[in-house]
Amino acid sequence: MTITRGFTGRARAAGPDRRLPPGQYDAGDAFPVLAAEVTPRPAAADWTFRIDGLVARPRSWSHEEMRELPRAEYHGDIHCVTGWSKFGVRFAGVSVDDLLAQAGPAPEATHAIAYSHTGYTTDLALADLTGGRAWIAFEYDGRPLAPEHGGPARLLVPHLYFWKSAKWIAGLHLLDHDEPGFWERNGYHRRGNPWREERYAGD
């Protein structure tokens, strides 16, 4: 598959709001839905999440087990590579820090592949998944996360473009190197920092 800039559309110019990264616009009340695959509708009872690879204790959690862990919330902004930003969103779930603490990353682990129940993948540095910067989210705005937004649970890494926040998350596979995921293999930037406009390879 070849990616074109037409898929993401032309970024609109940023307005006076300093919360907007360059090239973004305020989506207001809208929460656009974009996906590289058909939206699945998995039941929460069938959902699982696993951390494996370079860890001392590979672990899996069911949806019920995940909901028994300490609750963590994110209140802030999200930014999509297609050009929209959404302010003041509220997600709730579990901190990735708490999950990694149970799995015990190996000293040599530097990156992770996040993979979905659909087969979608994206790569992230562990530094972008730790330090209170990432969550497994199963609620949005006080309600269960809708399937079109990744429910029953999605990865949430809001300081990066939203394609890094993999929908229908199934697990994290820890590595000692960076390994590109779906969009990264098709022309997107390896990191995706909105404030640096890291949209495409070479940006």
Helix, strand or coil, per DSSP, at residue 145: coil
- Helical residues (DSSP H) of the chain, grouped into ranges: 5-8, 63-67, 96-103, 182-185
**Separation of CA 201 from chain center:** 19
DSSP 196: G
Burial of 62 (0-12, 13-18, 19+ CB in 10 A): middle
At residue 5, the pLDDT reads 34
Judge if the upstream peptide bond of residue 152 is cis by omega within 30 degrees of 0: yes
Q: In this predicted structure, what is the pLDDT of residue 7?
A: 36
The answer to whether 51 and 103 have CB atoms below 8 angstroms apart is: yes
Write the single-letter amino acid at 65.
E
pLDDT of residue 36: 67
Decide: residue 138, CB within 10 A, 0-12 exposed, 13-18 middle, 19+ buried.
buried
Segments of the chain with pLDDT less than 50: 1-15
pTM: 0.90
